[in-house]
Chains A and B, each alone.
Chain A
Amino acid sequence: MSKTYYDPADLRKFGKITEWSEELGNKFFEYYGKVFEEGALTAREKSLIALAVSHTEQCPYCIDAYTKDGLQRGVTKEEMMEAIHVGAAIKSGATLVHGVQMMNKVNKLDG
C-alpha cells in the first residue's frame, strides 16, 4: 500500500477501474470521451472549463491531466490562470452568497 493518499503514477491506471465493473466503466469512459469532443464548444474551451473545475474539485490527478492537455492545445499560462480565477470566483461567491442566509437568520432572530 502507498503511504500517501495520492500517487501521480495512479493517473495512468485510471482505465483499470473498468476491471472491477466493466460495463459501467466502459460506459463512463465512452461518455467522458464524447463530452470532450468538439461540439457547440471547442475542445479547447472544454479543456479550460475542465481545468477550472479540476481546481474547484481540488483533484490533483485532474489538475495534472488538464494542465498538460492545455499545453498540448497551445493554451497559454495566462489563459490557464484566468480560468482558475473563474473557478475561484464562483467558489468564493458561493460562500459569500450564503451570507445573505446568515443575514436573514440574524434579522429574524435578533432583528
Chain B
Amino acid sequence: MATKSLKKRHSDLANSNRQLEILSNGIFQNGELPTFKAKISETSQFPLKAKKLEILQINVGYMCNQVCDHCHVDAGPDRKEIMTRDTMKECLEVIKNTGAHTLDLTGGAPEMNPDFRWFVEEAAKAGIKDFIVRSNLTIIRANKKYYDLPEFFKKHNVHVVSSMPHWTRGKTDKQRGDGVFDKSIKALQELNAVGYGMPDSDLRLDLVYNPSGAFLPGDQASMEKDFKKALLEDFNIQFHNLFAITNLPISRFLDYLIASENYEDYMYSLVEAYNPAAVENVMCTNTLSVSWDGFLFDCDFNQMLELPVNSKVKHISEYNEDLLEGRNIVISQHCYGCTAGAGSSCQGSVA
C-alpha cells in the first residue's frame, strides 16, 4: 500500500504526457487493438460532441487523507493543489447562472479544502436541484473538526456519494488502506443516524463501488443487492443506490496495471466489452469538469491527463455555456473505461 502520491515519489507516471504515450503506443500503435477514435468511428459516433450541460463537477483540490491504490487523481496528504476562495467565487457566479441541474464537488477529499464549508453554504443558496459532495467517509472520522459533517451535510441538503469498495474488511482495506473499512462503517452509521440513506428519506446517500483490482465491475443492480443485504445484516447500514464505476487506466491505476503486468489484458477486457450504447450517454457529453485552479475539462479523467476542453473558453472566469455546447470531446484510449459493458460514469452505469 503506497503512502505517497506518484508525484511525491517522482514517478515517471506522475507526468500526464507519459501516461498518454503509454495509452497511444504498444497494442494501440501496432494495430492489435483499435484506438478509441477508430472504434467509435465504426458506428459513426466520432467526434463525440457535448450536449446541453447537466452536471457541473468541481474539483476543489487534490489533497486527501487517504492514498488509495487505484486513485485516478493521484490524491494524498502530500498534494498541495487546493482551490482558493477567489476561484470558488468565480465558480459561484457560474453556479448561480448555469442551466445545469447537478453540482458535483469532488477532490481529493473536498472537505479538506479550508474554504469547503463556506463554498457549500454559498453554493447551497443557489438552489441547484441536486448538490453532490463526494466524500470518502473516513474523513468524517479523521479528526474531531470533521465529526459534525453529517449534520452539516444535512443542514444544506447535500447529496452524499461515498466510495465503498466492498462489504468486507479485507477487500476494502487492501484497496484503501488499513482501518479504512472500520472508519467507513462508523461514518455510514453516523450518516444513517441523522437520516441519510434511509428508505423514505430525502437525504440521499449513494455508494460508489469500483473494483479492487484489474477487472471490470459486475452488474450494478446485482452488486447493489449484495451490498445492501450484507451492510444491513452485518452493520445495520442502509443506503439508496450503488454506482458501479470502472477503473480508468490512468494515474495510480495505470501504474498498478503496469507493475502487476495486467495492462494489456485489462485494455483487452475494456475493448472487448465496448458497448456503442454506452457511448450515447457517456458523461463527458453532459458534464463539465473544473480543476482546482479553474480550468475546464470534459471530465475529471481528462483533467488528470491535462487534456483541456476543445473550446475558446478554457477557464471558469470566461465561462460561456453556449460556446461550450457542441464542442468536440477530447478522447484517448482511457475513454474505453467509460464505454465498457453497461458503461461507467460518476453516476454509475449509463447503458
A interface, CB within 8 angstroms of B: 12, 42-44, 68, 71-74, 76
B interface, CB within 8 angstroms of A: 166-168, 170-171, 211, 213, 215-219, 222-223, 226-227, 268, 272
Report the Cα distance A53→B227, complex, angstroms: 27
Residue among B168, B211, B222 making CB contact with A43, cutoff 8 Å: B222
Collect the chain A residues with CB atoms within 8 Å of residue B227's CB: 74
Given the known inter-chain contacts A72-B218, A74-B218, please indicate yes or no for A12 contacting B226, CB distance below 8 A. Answer: no
Q: Other than the known A12-B268, A71-B215, A72-B217, what 17 A-B pairs have Cβ atoms closer than 8 Å?
A: A12-B272, A42-B222, A43-B219, A43-B222, A44-B222, A44-B226, A68-B215, A71-B211, A72-B215, A73-B218, A73-B219, A73-B222, A73-B223, A74-B223, A74-B226, A76-B168, A76-B171
Report the Cα distance A71→B213, complex, angstroms: 9
Report the Cα distance A43→B223, complex, angstroms: 12
A10 to chain B minimum Cβ distance, whole angstroms, is 13
A44 to chain B minimum Cβ distance, whole angstroms, is 7
A38 to chain B minimum Cβ distance, whole angstroms, is 8
Collect the chain B residues with CB atoms within 8 Å of residue A76's CB: 168, 170-171
* Main secondary structure on A side of the interface with B: helix
Which chain A residue shows the least CB distance to B230?
A74
Collect the chain B residues with CB atoms within 8 Å of residue A74's CB: 166-167, 218, 223, 226-227
* Main secondary structure on B side of the interface with A: loop
Collect the chain B residues with CB atoms within 8 Å of residue A44's CB: 222, 226
Report the Cα distance A71→B222, complex, angstroms: 13
In the assembled complex, 18 residue pairs joining A and B whose CB atoms fall closer than 8 Å, in A order, are A42-B222, A43-B219, A43-B222, A44-B222, A44-B226, A71-B213, A71-B215, A72-B211, A72-B216, A72-B217, A72-B218, A73-B218, A73-B219, A73-B223, A74-B166, A74-B218, A74-B226, A74-B227
B88 to chain A minimum Cβ distance, whole angstroms, is 38
Report the Cα distance A71→B265, complex, angstroms: 15
Collect the chain A residues with CB atoms within 8 Å of residue B268's CB: 12
A92 to chain B minimum Cβ distance, whole angstroms, is 29
Which chain B residue shows the least CB distance to A47?
B218
Collect the chain A residues with CB atoms within 8 Å of residue B166's CB: 74
Collect the chain B residues with CB atoms within 8 Å of residue A68's CB: 215
B266 to chain A minimum Cβ distance, whole angstroms, is 11
Which chain B residue shows the least CB distance to A77?
B170
A28 to chain B minimum Cβ distance, whole angstroms, is 18
Collect the chain B residues with CB atoms within 8 Å of residue A71's CB: 211, 213, 215
Interface centre among A44, A72, A74 (most CB of B within 10 A): A74
Report the Cα distance A12→B269, complex, angstroms: 9
Interface centre among A43, A71, A76 (most CB of B within 10 A): A71
Which chain B residue shows the least CB distance to A12?
B268
What are the 3 A-B residue pairs with the smallest beta carbon separation, nearest first?
A: A72-B218, A73-B218, A71-B215
Interface centre among B170, B211, B215 (most CB of A within 10 A): B215
Which chain A residue shows the least CB distance to B264?
A9
Interface centre among A42, A44, A68, A72 (most CB of B within 10 A): A72
Collect the chain B residues with CB atoms within 8 Å of residue A43's CB: 219, 222
B102 to chain A minimum Cβ distance, whole angstroms, is 28
A72 to chain B minimum Cβ distance, whole angstroms, is 4
Collect the chain B residues with CB atoms within 8 Å of residue A42's CB: 222
Report the Cα distance A73→B272, complex, angstroms: 18
B210 to chain A minimum Cβ distance, whole angstroms, is 12
Which chain A residue shows the least CB distance to B265?
A8
Report the Cα distance A42→B168, complex, angstroms: 21
Report the Cα distance A28→B27, complex, angstroms: 30
Collect the chain A residues with CB atoms within 8 Å of residue B215's CB: 68, 71-72
B92 to chain A minimum Cβ distance, whole angstroms, is 40
Collect the chain B residues with CB atoms within 8 Å of residue A72's CB: 211, 215-218
Report the Cα distance A72→B270, complex, angstroms: 13
Report the Cα distance A12→B265, complex, angstroms: 9
Report the Cα distance A12→B268, complex, angstroms: 9
